[in-house]
Amino acid sequence: MVLVSIGATIAGVVEMWRKNIMQDPGGWMEQTLAGEKFNASKLSVFVQIPQFAIVGGSEVFTSIAGKHIYPCLKNSKLLHILPTFRISMKNISK
């Protein structure tokens, strides 16, 4: 949860940075896709690597925790109260 929050914060900072660059004169370039012209930021796509790495790491920890929690809850009444959790954990623990 903490890693996802950090990743979302980094994404927000990158987006604010991109918008500021787009407002500067010459901070954008014209891009043509399917005959339509768009204004694209000159900010490199590689700036997004940290946010994707952090969110990916967070998902790894979540799936590992899910694999360890599901067997403990297998015969619990809690698992019957939370069918969505049961279905998602059953798919992860295979």
Q: What mean pLDDT comes out for the span 51-73?
A: 79
The rounded distance, in Å, linking the Cα atoms of 86 and 7 is 27
Q: What is the pLDDT of residue 80?
A: 62
Contact yes or no for 27/42 (Cβ under 8 A): yes
Query: With bands split at pLDDT 50, 70 and 90, how would you rate the model's confidence at 87?
Result: low
The answer on pLDDT for 39 being more than 60 is: yes
Q: What is the pLDDT of residue 93?
A: 54
The rounded distance, in Å, linking the Cα atoms of 65 and 47 is 29
Q: How much is the pTM?
A: 0.60
Contact yes or no for 5/13 (Cβ under 8 A): no
Contact yes or no for 40/28 (Cβ under 8 A): yes
